[in-house]
Amino acid sequence: MRRSLSIGVKLTVWYAVWMATALCGLGLLAFLSMRHSIHATVDEQLRDRMNVVQRTVDHSLRKGSVDILRRELDEDSELRPQIDLLQIWDDQGSLIYQSTPLKTTGLPPPGSLPQPAKTMWIGEDPIRVLEASVAVNGRLYHIQAAARMEEFYEALGRFRGRLLLFTPLALLLASGLGYWMSRRALAPVDQITRAAQQISAQNLSARLSVPPSGDELQRLAETLNQMLERIEAALERVTRFSADASHELRTPITVMRTRTELALRRQRTPAENQQTLEQLHAELVRTSQLLDNLMLLARADSGTEQLRFAPANLVYIIEDVLTQVRPIADEKGVALQGALPDQAIWIAGDLQLLQRLFLILVENAVKYTPKAGLVSVALEARNGTATVKIRDTGIGIGEDDLPHIFDRFYRADKARTRELGGAGLGLSIGRWIAEVHGGSVDVESRVGAGSTFEVSLPSASSTGEVVSPASTVTSG
C-alpha cells in the first residue's frame, strides 16, 4: 500500500503555502505603500514648487519682462537644491526658461494640461514631473517642475532587496515552527494510535489513555473508549450467545443419540420402538423451535428480519392466543380469563409477530402457575397507547432475577426441567417484538405472589389506519 504523507507534514505544507502567500502579499503591499508614500511626498513638494513658480511668473510677466522672470527663478532655484528642475514654455512652443541642471538633457515639451505628476526616464535617471499652466496678459505659459528620484528609488530598491532576502528566511522559520507545533499537537494522536494497535479481541478490556486537555483529542480518546466498551459488550454477548446456543443444541442431540444407541443395542418390540420414535419426535420439535428462535434473533440483530406492518386488531389477536392456550391451561387445571373490550383496538404491526409475543407471555404465565391458579389477560387503550396486562398467581420471580429475565438463555429457576423451562429465549424474543413495534414490556413480580407483564404499544386510528412505529430497536 502506498504510504501517504503524515498529517503533520500536510499541515506544515499547507501552513507554508498560506504563510508564503501572506508574506508575499504583505511584502508587495509594503513595497507599493512605500512607493506610493514616496511619490505622494515628492508630488506635494512639486505642487508647492509649482504654486511658487506660478505666482512668480504672474508677478514678473505682468510688471516686467522674461529676463526679470529668469533672474528671479534662478535665485529661487538656489534655495531649493532638492527640486531644481524647471522649464517654462510660452503658447508658441518656445522655451523661455530652463534651470541649469536641465540644460544638458531637458524635458520633453509639455503634453495636455493639467495632468497629475508622472515619472519619466531621461537616460538612466528617473524624474518625477508635474505640469501646469498660467495665463498672463492674455498669453498662456506652460510650466514643468520636476524632481530627481534616484535616491528615493535606491532606498526603494534596498527595501525590496531586504524583502526578497528576509521573506524566504521568515517563511523557512515559520514552516519549521509550524512543523514543530504540529508534531507537538499531534503527539497524543500517535500515542492513541499505538495504544489502539495493541488492542485486540484477546484484550478488549484495555482502554486508551485520555489526555486531560479538554480539546478534540480528549473527546476522540473518550469516544474510542466508549466504542471499545460497546465492542467488548457486543463480543461478550456473541461469545455467550454462541456458547449458550451450542449448549442448548448439544443437549437434545445428546438425548437423541443416547436413545437411538439404546434402541440399536437389542431387538425391541413395536411398542418400544413407537415410544422411542415419539421421544425422538418430541426432541426434534423442541430443537426445531430452538433453531427457529435462534434464527429469528440472528435476523433481528442483523436487521434483516422482514416485517409486514398492516392494521392489526389487538382484540382479535388476544382472543386467538387465548383460544390456543386454553387447552394447555385446562389440562393443567389453571383458570384462563380474558377482559377484552367490545370494540376493536387497532395498531400498526406484524400480525404473526404480535401473536407470537402474546403467545409467549400467556404460555409462560400458564406454565409457571400451579394447579387451581389464575391467569388473566386485560386489554385497554388510552391516550394513543394500547396496554395489555397478563397477570398470574404463579411462583413469581425473585428480585435478583428480575433484571435478567429478558437476557437470552437466562432461566430464573436453574432447577427447571427442559420440558418446563425451555431454552430461555422466549422473553428475549418477546421484548424485541414489542420494541420493534415502538412499544415496551415491563414486569412486576414477587416470589410466591405471581407476576404481571405489561405490554404497551402505540395504537392506530379507530379506522385501522397504519401508523409507523415510533422506533425500531433490536434487543441486544
Nearest to 257 by CA among 292, 283, 288, 289: 283
Digit-coded pLDDT (tens) for 282-309: 778 777 766 776 777 776 666 666 788 8
The answer to whether residues 326 and 400 touch, using CB atoms and an 8 Å cutoff, is no
More confident residue, 389 or 475: 389
Judged by average pLDDT, the poorest of 237-246, 435-444, 454-463 is 237-246
- Average pLDDT over every residue of 364-370: 91
* pLDDT of residue 54 exceeding 90: no
Residues paired with residue 388 on neighbouring β-strands, in sequence order? 379, 455
Question: Which of 19, 30, 9, 32 is CA-nearest to residue 170?
Answer: 19
Residue 123 has pLDDT above 80, yes or no: no
Q: What is the mean pLDDT of the chain?
A: 80
CA proximity to 249, closest of 208, 291, 311? 291
Report the SS3 class of residue 300: helix
Q: Which of 1-10, 94-103, 219-228, 368-377 has the lowest mean pLDDT?
A: 1-10
* Secondary structure (3-state) at 34: helix
Question: Identity (one letter) of the amino acid at 375?
Answer: V
Report the pLDDT value the prediction gives residue 10, as an integer from 0 to 100: 77
pLDDT for 326: 92
Query: What per-residue confidence (pLDDT) applies to 470?
Result: 37
Tell me what the mean pLDDT of segment 328-345 comes to.
92
Residue ranges of alpha helices (H) inside 79-215 are 150-197
144, 150, 155, 157 alpha-carbon torsion, rounded to 10° = 110
Q: Specify whether domain 216-302 bears CATH 1.10.3980.10.
A: no
- Mean pLDDT over 361-375 rounds to 92
Angle at 417 between CA 412 and CA 418, to 5 degrees: 95
Confidence at 191, pLDDT banded by 50, 70, 90? confident
Instruction: Evaluate if residue 199 carries a pLDDT over 80.
Output: no
pLDDT band (50, 70, 90) for residue 407: confident
C-alpha distance across the termini of the chain, in Å: 37
The pLDDT score that the predictor gives to residue 261 is 83
In the prediction, which pLDDT does 174 show?
Answer: 83
Residues 6+ away with beta carbon under 8 Å from 332: 366, 369, 371
**Residue 401: predicted pLDDT:** 83
What average pLDDT does the segment 248-258 reach? 75
Least confident of 75-79, 214-218, 448-452: 75-79
Q: Is the dihedral angle over the CA atoms 178, 179, 184, 187 positive or is it negative?
A: positive
SS3 63: helix
Residue 357 reports pLDDT greater than 80? yes
Q: What residue segments make up the domains of the chain, in order of their start? A: 7-158, 216-302, 310-458
CA distances from 67 to 49, 57, 60 (A): 20, 11, 9
pLDDT (average), residues 107-120: 75
Q: Which range among 40-49, 131-140, 229-238, 417-426 shows the weakest confidence by mean pLDDT?
A: 417-426
pLDDT classification of 423: cutoffs 50, 70, 90 = low
Q: Please, what's the b/e burial string for 176-203 (b: 16 or more CB within 10 A of its CB; e: otherwise)?
A: eebbeebbeebebbeebeeeeeebeeee
Q: How far is CA 190 from CA 6, 193, 194, 217, in A?
A: 11, 5, 6, 11
Other C-beta atoms lying within 10 Å of the C-beta of residue 213: 12
Q: Which position has the grid cell 515619472?
A: 119
Distance CA(376)–CA(336), nearest Å, equals 6
Q: 10 Å Cβ neighbour count for 386?
A: 21
Give the pLDDT band of residue 413 (cuts 50, 70, 90).
low
428 vs 104, more confident? 428
Mean pLDDT across 153-162: 90
Give the per-residue pLDDT at 37.
93
- CATH architecture of the region 310-458: 2-Layer Sandwich (3.30)
User: According to CATH, what is the number of the domain 7-158?
Assistant: 3.30.450.20
On the question of a common fold for 7-158 and 216-302, the answer reads no
